[in-house]
């Protein structure tokens, strides 16, 4: 009786271990090939303000054309005007002209940024983090150095990115 049990127990144990190994391989492959988990953008912070300045606006510039380094160049120009500028990047979207992307077309941050670009288009995407993206293309008309560095805020409240609303960021 004991030898019969061993003849059955050994292959059953082997099958169980192979099943466990197969499950581990399947689960590992699924986790490896899954798209990265993105953290949702932190919502903006509403503040009372009569004017919005460049220091309160976070901008990210994307190159949507073929001219190498254009996003870096525009990022430097915006930083020189006091904007909080994220690292420039490329976008897979091919753009011909300059596109300013923000929560709404009437958002003071979008209007402030768009003032620095000639013939720019505004695109609203209902974002909630208070940031503004700038997509520059091959037909970049140029940067306006004489644009105002602040705009009036209708209604007296503005939504600024959480990172720029901290006391350390305001200093």
Residue range(s) in the chain whose domain bears CATH number 3.30.70.2390? 45-170
Give the pLDDT of residue 41: 65
Q: Which helix (H) or strand (E) holds 11?
A: helix 2-33
Measured CA to CA in angstroms, residue 4 lies from 1, 8, 14, 18, 165 at distances of: 5, 6, 16, 22, 74
Banded model confidence at residue 36, pLDDT cuts 50, 70, 90 = confident
Spatial distance between the Cα atoms of 52 and 32, rounded to a whole number of angstroms: 44
Q: Which of 117, 130, 27 is nearest to 74 (CA)?
A: 117
The mean per-residue pLDDT over the stretch 114-126 comes to 92
The mean per-residue pLDDT over the stretch 92-120 comes to 93
Give the pLDDT of residue 140: 87
Q: How many helices (H) and strands (E) does the chain have?
A: 4, 10
Contact 126, 103 (CB under 8 A): yes
Spatial distance between the Cα atoms of 53 and 151, rounded to a whole number of angstroms: 7
Give the pLDDT of residue 128: 87
Give the pLDDT of residue 72: 94
Look at the domain 45-170 and name its fold: Alpha-Beta Plaits (3.30.70)
The mean per-residue pLDDT over the stretch 22-46 comes to 83
Q: Say if residue 42's pLDDT is above 80.
A: no
Q: Say if residue 127's pLDDT is above 60.
A: yes
Q: Which helix (H) or strand (E) holds 58?
A: strand 58-63
Q: Say if residue 168's pLDDT is above 60.
A: no
Banded model confidence at residue 78, pLDDT cuts 50, 70, 90 = very high
Span 9-20, pLDDT tens digits: 888 899 999 999
Torsion sign, CA atoms 99, 103, 108, 113: negative
Spatial distance between the Cα atoms of 76 and 1, rounded to a whole number of angstroms: 83
Give the pLDDT of residue 2: 66
Banded model confidence at residue 171, pLDDT cuts 50, 70, 90 = very low
């Amino acid at each position: 009786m004991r030898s019969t049990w061993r003849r059955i127990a050994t292959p059953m144990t082997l099958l169980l271990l192979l099943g466990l190994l197969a499950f581990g391989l399947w689960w590992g492959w699924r986790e490896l090939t899954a798209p990265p988990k993105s953290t949702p953008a932190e919502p903006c912070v509403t503040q009372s303000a009569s004017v919005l300045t460049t220091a309160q606006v976070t901008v990210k510039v994307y190159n949507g054309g073929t001219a190498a380094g254009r996003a870096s160049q525009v990022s430097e120009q915006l930083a020189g005007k006091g904007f909080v500028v994220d690292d420039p990047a490329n976008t897979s979207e091919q753009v011909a002209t300059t596109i300013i992307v923000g929560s709404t077309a009437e958002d003071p941050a979008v209007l402030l940024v768009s003032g620095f670009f000639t013939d720019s288009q505004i695109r609203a995407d209902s974002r909630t983090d208070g940031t503004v993206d700038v997509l520059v293309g091959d037909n970049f008309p140029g940067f306006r150095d004489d644009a105002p560095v602040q705009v009036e805020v209708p209604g007296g409240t503005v939504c600024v990115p959480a990172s720029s609303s901290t006391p350390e960021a305001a200093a």
